[in-house]
């Protein structure tokens, strides 16, 4: 096992462990005040730290896992030309949204997701846009290979749909759980949030995916041997995290919507890619393509 492969697996394992730990804290420990009060001083300090920074850990580890994956299996160019537009565009959209209400509606972030840029947006939020957006776009790009000239615009559309479908479940869950991470100042019709939010999500994702698609044309991309195990696992694990919280909160319709418009298309795109490129795509790891910067 090479060093970068080990690092990728490690960060992905930390990401999944953080999601599981977060679920246990939000759904089991936090509602049980007697259990928290009975903890020794060290245990209470550890609990306070996990509640204050646990959300940041899962987003940082997810971004690191996807960054290493993109560098190993695509190239330095294709990694950076997706990550940088995703970070810049999503940061701008989030700062604009928390300041003016456009494009998502009026909302504000609470604690638990790390240091806030300009006192408004946790620095970890753009990281989640990147690693989920990249995973969604790559699944769409590889799964729609048979569309010819329509492949790239279709990948942007389907990638943005997968990203938005994750938010169908994430937003109601994370804003209405025992310890919410953001709050809506503009109550809406969709479980407390405005429909405008989803238009903002789709539009923001489409913008940075389109920028990346244009930049990717500058260098050829050979993806016939790129494994899709990590992108699919990232998407499904994050969807599951939000889904479990929604189930605990008895919020069911967004789950159905997310399954139909997010999980099902993601699985079909994954299947299409494996049928086109062969079983190597289905593997979690495989040899990186030529020129990917593997060490």
DSSP string covering 14-53: HHHHHHHHHHHIIIIITT-HHHHHHS-HHHHHHHHHHHHH
Task: Identify the pLDDT of residue 247.
Answer: 92
pLDDT at residue 25, rounded to an integer: 79
Q: Which helix (H) or strand (E) holds 109?
A: strand 107-109
**Domain assignment of residue 95, yes or no:** yes
Give how many domains the chain has, as a whole number.
Answer: 1
Classify residue 163: in a domain, yes or no.
yes
Q: Which domain holds residue 205?
A: 3-282
**Amino acid 286: pLDDT:** 38
Residue 287 lies inside a defined structural domain of this protein: no
Note whether residue 289 is domain-resident. Answer: no
Cα 276 to Cα 88: distance, rounded to the nearest angstrom? 33
**What distances in angstroms separate CA 256 from CA 57, 158, 166, 170, 260, one per listed residue?**
28, 18, 11, 13, 6
Q: Is 294 contained in some domain?
A: no
Residue-wise DSSP of 41-85? HHHHHHHHHHHHHHHHHHHHHHHHHHHHHHHHHT-HHHHHHHHHH
Q: pLDDT (tens digit, 0 to 9) for every residue of the chain, 295 residues total?
A: 689 999 999 999 999 999 998 888 788 777 777 767 777 776 666 666 666 566 789 999 999 999 999 999 999 999 999 999 999 999 999 999 999 999 999 999 988 788 899 999 999 999 999 999 999 999 999 999 889 899 999 999 999 999 999 999 989 878 877 677 888 998 888 988 999 999 999 999 999 999 999 999 999 887 878 999 999 999 999 999 999 999 988 899 999 999 999 999 999 999 999 998 886 676 655 333 333 333 3
Spatial distance between the Cα atoms of 189 and 32, rounded to a whole number of angstroms: 31
| Joined tokens for residue 93 | 């959209």
Q: What tokens appear for 150 in the block?
A: 């329509």
Spatial separation of the C-alpha atoms in residues 51 and 30, rounded to whole Å = 9
Say if CB 194 and CB 178 are below 8 A apart: no
Q: What is the pLDDT of residue 52?
A: 57
Q: Does 293 reside within a domain?
A: no
Tell me the per-residue pLDDT of 10-65, one tens digit each, with 9 for 90 and over: 999 999 999 998 888 788 777 777 767 777 776 666 666 666 566 789 999 999 99
Residue-level pLDDT at 146 = 86
């Amino acid at each position: 096992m090479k060093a970068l492969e080990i690092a990728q697996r490690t960060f992905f394992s930390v990401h999944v462990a953080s999601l599981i730990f977060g679920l246990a804290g939000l759904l089991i420990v936090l509602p049980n005040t007697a259990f928290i009060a009975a903890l020794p001083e060290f245990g209470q300090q550890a609990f306070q730290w996990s509640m204050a920074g646990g959300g940041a850990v899962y987003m940082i580890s997810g971004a690191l896992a996807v960054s290493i994956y993109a560098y190993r299996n695509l190239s330095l160019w294709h990694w950076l030309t997706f990550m940088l537009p995703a970070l810049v565009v999503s940061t701008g959209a989030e700062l604009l949204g928390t300041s003016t209400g456009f494009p998502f509606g009026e909302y504000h972030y609470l604690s638990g997701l790390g240091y806030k840029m300009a006192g408004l947006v946790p620095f970890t939020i753009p990281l989640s846009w990147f690693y989920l957006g990249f995973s969604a776009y790559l699944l769409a790009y590889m799964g729609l290979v048979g569309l010819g000239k329509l492949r790239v615009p279709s990948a942007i559309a389907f990638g943005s749909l997968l990203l938005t479908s994750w938010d169908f479940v994430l937003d109601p869950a994370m804003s209405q759980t025992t310890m919410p991470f953001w709050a809506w100042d503009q109550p809406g019709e969709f479980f407390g949030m405005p429909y405008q939010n989803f238009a903002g999500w789709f539009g923001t994702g489409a913008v940075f995916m389109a920028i990346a698609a244009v930049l990717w044309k500058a260098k050829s991309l050979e993806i016939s041997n790129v494994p899709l195990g990590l992108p699919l696992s990232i998407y499904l694990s994050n969807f599951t995290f939000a889904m479990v919280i929604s189930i605990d909160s008895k919020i069911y319709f967004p789950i159905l919507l997310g399954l139909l418009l997010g999980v099902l298309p993601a699985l079909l795109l994954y299947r299409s890619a494996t049928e086109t490129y062969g079983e190597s795509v289905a593997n979690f790891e495989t040899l990186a393509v030529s020129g990917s910067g593997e060490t």
